[in-house]
Amino acid sequence: MSRQKQHITLTAALALLPLAVACGSEQAGSTTADASKPVTGVHWSVDSVTVDGKEHDAPADAHVTIDDSGKAQGNYGCNHFSAQASFDGDRVRFADATTTEMACEEKPMTFEENLARTLADGSLKTEVGGGRLTLTTDAGDTVRLTEEQSAPLYGTKWTVTSLGKGGPDGTAESLPKGAEGKAHLTFDKATGQVGGRLTCNKVTAEATVRDGSITLGPASTTRMMCEASLMATEKRLLRLFDGTVAYRLEHHSLTLTSENGETVTAVAGK
């Protein structure tokens, strides 16, 4: 299956960063951007961006958080970012932004570009209330976000969105067309197992969770044959099993990293 890839250059990435950061720095229940207020520690899920009157829905994992020191970080739906937020009344600016350069399908990349154009235009006016945050440019373009509770590791259907290599210089790529939304895993605490689908075949295995790692037993799968691109993805996912993987849970995003550094990123549904 043909697939369009793009790599974000550092310049473009820096332009993107203002968005997510801005979102995270807003304060729940107040229109004033002040890092001392409850916006810190809150996960803001990006719902949409509206540019020139046209609304664009956000990718599933687009989000922003900000800690007590003013450090903002999150994901644009494809690329991860971090930055420092500064506040002036009901407006927010961001500096010292850094981002990854992962390859994604056309749709997430198009959203990131719209987001960059919206949020790289000076300070943003903030409105917060009822668990919702709106960021508005002087030209009237808007970014809308919603506060979300964290998804638990157990019982959540984790849909695989990308595969790649770990580390600060690692790259990740989204699943091939036809495979999007098909691969998923669910961890069951009561049975000590993980089950799901590897794009084509169903899978089950023992799963022991402890101290930031998951020990996975040998995979038991069905024996269906599918298109070559789907089977190639399955082979990569199967490398997670019969070994120990590190896991990182960030609100609605789960990253599994195998001992050889390969990563699988999955998201919980909005």
pLDDT tens readout for residues 227-241 = 998 999 999 999 999
Q: Is the pLDDT of residue 9 over 70?
A: no
pLDDT tens string 206-220: 999 998 999 999 999
pLDDT number for residue 166: 56
State how far the Cα of 156 lies from the Cα of 205, in Å rounded to an integer.
16
State how far the Cα of 116 lies from the Cα of 109, in Å rounded to an integer.
10
Q: 75: pLDDT confidence band, cut at 50, 70 and 90?
A: confident
State how far the Cα of 97 lies from the Cα of 78, in Å rounded to an integer.
16
Q: Is the pLDDT of residue 160 over 90?
A: yes
pLDDT tens string 23-71: 443 333 333 444 434 566 788 888 999 999 999 999 877 888 877 777 8
pTM of the model: 0.57
Highest-scoring range by mean pLDDT, 1-5, 90-94, 161-165, 236-240 = 236-240
Highest-scoring range by mean pLDDT, 76-80, 149-153, 172-176 = 149-153
State how far the Cα of 87 lies from the Cα of 76, in Å rounded to an integer.
22
Q: Is the pLDDT of residue 13 over 60?
A: no
Q: 116: pLDDT confidence band, cut at 50, 70 and 90?
A: confident
When the pLDDT of each residue in the chain is averaged and rounded to a whole number, the result is 79
Conformation bin of residue 35: beta by default, left when phi > 0, alpha when psi is -120 to 50: alpha
Q: Is the pLDDT of residue 8 over 70?
A: no
- Cβ neighbors of 80 (< 8 A, separation 6 or more) are 73, 74, 99, 100, 102
pLDDT number for residue 198: 95
Element (H, E) at 57: strand 54-57
State how far the Cα of 160 lies from the Cα of 240, in Å rounded to an integer.
13
